Chains A and B, each alone.
Chain A
Amino acid sequence: MDWNIMELVNEFTVNRPISETWEVLTNVERIVPCLPGAQLTKVDGEIYHATVRIKVGPIAAAFRGQANFVELNSEKFYLELKAAGRDASGKGSAAATITAQLEEVSENVTHCVVNTDLSITGKVAQFGRGAMEDISGKIISQFASNLNSMIESESQDIDTTPVSAGTPLDTPAQHEESTEVPRVRLIESPVSAPFKVINSKWADVLEAKWVQVVAVIAAMAVVGILARRTAKN
């Protein structure tokens, strides 16, 4: 199988304290609605199932995938996520290891750096990293913009408890011991509008590991276009 492997780096800024940002970003059910085109379908223990619809110009794809946290370090504000997805109509599939590191810029400003090791195959694998970067950047910028809006509108409701308390996801080790959460839950959340690239301006916003899942998937969709470059009309 012909795998195409690349590393993508994306950054964004959130206008919130680092502990608050961490809390939001590690709450999958809160951030998925910020992800254009994404819908969380099922939570199976520590594994999150989702579908993501992406539209780039004339190309649309619907990916099914799953992701799980490999590491959630609330002291270093570092997380690692593994994700994999496949397009239902056979445009390709992708696997990624995503890490995110939060850094405190000032009391109310947090910077996030996201690294994605992306492996793709299928039609999309012929794509260049340029298109991938373009699309992942846009998705993240749109996600960040949505996330910041969400945080703004909910700012009154956000509690100020320390990060470690009440965080929906703790370290995997702790999670194994917690039994109060049902192992499998079906999520009935509204489908957000499909990802659509609107403009090319990189907003200085924010991201989460889930964004990267989408970015990965978007990149896959795009990859296929290169196939066309070698196809005769």
Chain B
Amino acid sequence: MIPAAFDYVRAESVDHALSLMGQYGDEAKYVAGGHSLLPLMKLRLAQPAVLVDIARIEGLGYIRDVGEYIAIGALARHTDVERSPVVVKHAPLLSQTAGEVGDPQVRHRGTIGGSIAHADAASDLPATTLALGATFVAQGPAGTRTIAAADFYTGFLECALLPGELLTEIRIPKMESAGWSFQKFNRRAQDWAIVGVSAWRRGDDTGIALINMASIPVLATSVMEAIKTGASIAEAALLASHDAEPQSDTNASAEYRSHLARVMVRRALETSTS
């Protein structure tokens, strides 16, 4: 449980971080809260030669209402997101999700940008950003670009960020009056979800994302279509695993995961509707 040797450099600004990453290249990793990367380093699965610490960069932990959407700096801690009056008011599903990540220590150190860039299908925040149709801002050597959440998660622990690019801002559309529900099934409170569902509903419009039901967070598109075309919640929920590829592991079989998804999507929709 002791990481392999690595060098450590503290970035003073986003530009500094980008230039450090350009200097060290493939062997370097950004670290912020370190609550996804460090466990992998302790297991010696990840052995970056250099850590570029972005956690002390000033002014990247903001949470702002900018009208159409909420702008969240990548360094905002989960606890900040959970408790932000702006998030509670305009994106309560995100607040709830941030409040259920890991345990209190994880929530006080882990950052929203780190959780998203780590792109773990078993993590809570990536699925919620997908359900809410978030947009991500990435800065790289070639400039700044935005990436839709739907295009961001590309594979097992893989996302659309290019080498050296830094996720700097998360934009969350306001939920307006949508009903919502965050469902997480696990054995102990701090565990990763065995299956989770992040959902909102406004009339026939829904956004439903599944946690740990594939190698990436996935939208339950079939359920969303069914609701759109007038299906009942019970009927629609039966399609919950239609767009997923659940896998068996030590926690649950694929069949059990599919069952959980059907039950939890139904509960999420019932909660969102009432």
Contacts and interface: CB of A to CB of B under 8 A. Distances in A.
Partners in one complex: yes
Interface string A208-233: 00000000000001101111111111
Given A197-B158, A230-B250, 8 more contacts: A58-B45, A91-B45, A200-B216, A221-B45, A222-B156, A227-B45, A228-B43, A233-B102
A191 to B, nearest CB: 12
Contacts of A225: 40, 45, 157
Contacts of A228: 39-40, 43, 45
A70 to B, nearest CB: 30
6 contacts: A59-B46, A126-B250, A197-B155, A226-B249, A231-B43, A233-B190
Q: Which 8 A-B pairs rank lowest in CB-CB distance, beginning with the nearest?
A: A130-B247, A57-B157, A224-B45, A128-B249, A58-B46, A134-B215, A197-B158, A128-B247
Given A58-B48, A194-B26, A226 B154 contact: no
B235 interface: no
A60 B251 CA distance: 25
A128 B254 CA distance: 11
A199 B154 contact: yes
Interface in A112-141: 123, 126, 128-131, 134-135, 138
Given A225-B40, A225-B45, A226-B250, A59 B155 contact: no
Contact of B154 (A58, A194, A200, A232): A200
B263 interface: no
Nearest to B110: A233
Nearest to A232: B190
Contacts of B44: 89-91, 123
Interface residues of B, number: 42
B127 interface: no
Contact of A233 (B103, B158, B214): B103
Interface of B: 1, 4, 26, 29, 35-40, 42-48, 102-103, 105-106, 118-119, 122, 154-158, 160, 190, 192, 214-216, 245-251
Contacts of B26: 55, 194
Contact of A60 (B1, B43, B47): B47
B47 A135 contact: no
| Dominant secondary structure of chain B at its interface with chain A | loop
A135 B156 contact: yes
A198 interface: yes
Interface string A84-109: 00000111000000000000000000
Given A56-B156, A128-B249, A123 B43 contact: yes
A123 B36 CA distance: 17
A60 B247 CA distance: 23
Contacts of A229: 122, 192, 249-251
A55 B25 CA distance: 13
Contacts of B157: 56-59, 225
A227 B47 contact: no
Nearest to A228: B39
B118 to A, nearest CB: 7
B221 to A, nearest CB: 15
B45 A130 contact: no
Contacts of B35: 233
Contacts of A138: 155
A89 B156 contact: no
